[in-house]
Every structure is written in structure tokens, then in C-alpha cells.
Amino acid sequence: MQLPIFHFPAPLAAVVSRLPTLPPSFVLARILNLALRRSIDRQDFLPLHGKRIAIRVSDIGVTCHFTVGDDGFQAIADTEQPDLAIAATAHDFYLLASRQEDPDALFFSRRLLVEGNTELGLIAKNTLDGLNLPEWLQALLSPGSLLARLRL
């Protein structure tokens, strides 16, 4: 069953878009480390080691900046142009994470934008395609779950 397309409420997006980029980047890096540390062979991410990566959630106006280091994903400041930038809406990122949508389909329908070093993008995509995210992470990232937590 496919969820209806989710859009963040404009007032919430306006507030979140004004946040500094380091806190959300830190949170994303921690989530990736927790969710993927047992699922990813570090050798798979060697080509991304030291590269600047940006994930932009376009409908919220948040961009997370991180790199892959010896200890996994690490948040970084956004002072330089990223080597790889990936952008989509929160709903499309959720569909990707929950395996409800294929990254190639989103890319060719222009709902997933990849800029910078496309070889790095393919490496990241192919590595993540081989993963199954834990159910707890899929539940945590669901738009309805996130909004329910905000209402508390």
C-alpha cells in the first residue's frame, strides 16, 4: 500500500528552514551510523571517504552536510561546495528509505536530483541499494510518526 504524498506544513517548513545546518547534519550522521553500522562493509564506502556530501530535503529547506571518515558518518560545516549533493522532498526520501520507490525511477522523473561527482552518487546508490533498513528506522522516519512527535 502506497502512502498518499506527504507535504510538510508550510509554517513548520518555514521554521525548520531557518535552523543552522550543523544540528540536523549531526542528527543525520548519528542516525546513519546507528542504522547502518552493522549493515555496511566499510570497504564499500572507501571511495566516499573524506568527500563532502550534502543531502537537501527540498520541501523543508534543510540541507545536511557530512563526510565519511574512519568512524563512519561525520557532520561537517557547509563551508565548501559538496563533492556530491542529493536533493528530494521528505516524502521521496521516505519512499527511498522504506524501499517503496526505486531511486532510478525518482531520478528519471526528476524527483531525485544528484549534483556533483556522479560516480560518487552511483557508488552511494549501489551500496545503499544492497541494504535493508531496520524496521525501527523506517518507523522513526515515517512522516506521520515525525509529525506525531512534534505534536507532543
CATH assignment at residue 44: 3.30.1050.10
pLDDT of 116 reads 93
- Shortest CA distance to 86 belongs to which of 72, 71, 106, 70? 106
Q: CA nearest 51: which of 63, 33, 28, 67?
A: 67
Question: Can you give the pLDDT at residue 107?
Answer: 87
Give pLDDT < 70 ranges for the chain: 1-4, 39-40, 130-152
Structural Rg of the chain based on CA atoms: 15
Q: How many domains does the chain fold into?
A: 1
pTM: 0.79
68: in domain:
yes
pLDDT at position 133 is 61
- Cβ within 8 Å of residue 26, ≥6 positions away: 75
* Inside any domain, residue 83: yes
- Residue 27 domain-assigned (yes or no): yes
Order of strands, sheet of 62-69, starting from the edge strand that comes earlier in the sequence: 72-75, 62-69, 53-57, 84-88, 113-116
Residue 73 is predicted with a pLDDT of 92
Q: Which three cell numbers stand for residue 7?
A: 507535504
127 lies in some domain: yes
4 in a structural domain: no
pLDDT at 82: 94
- What is the DSSP secondary structure assignment for residue 49, as one 8-state letter? B
List of residues 6+ apart from 148 with CB closer than 8 A: none
Query: Does 52 fall in a domain?
Result: yes
Q: Give pLDDT, residue 152.
A: 47
Q: Which domain holds residue 118?
A: 10-151
In a domain, 76, yes or no: yes
Residue 29, in any domain of the structure: yes
What's the pLDDT score for residue 123? 83
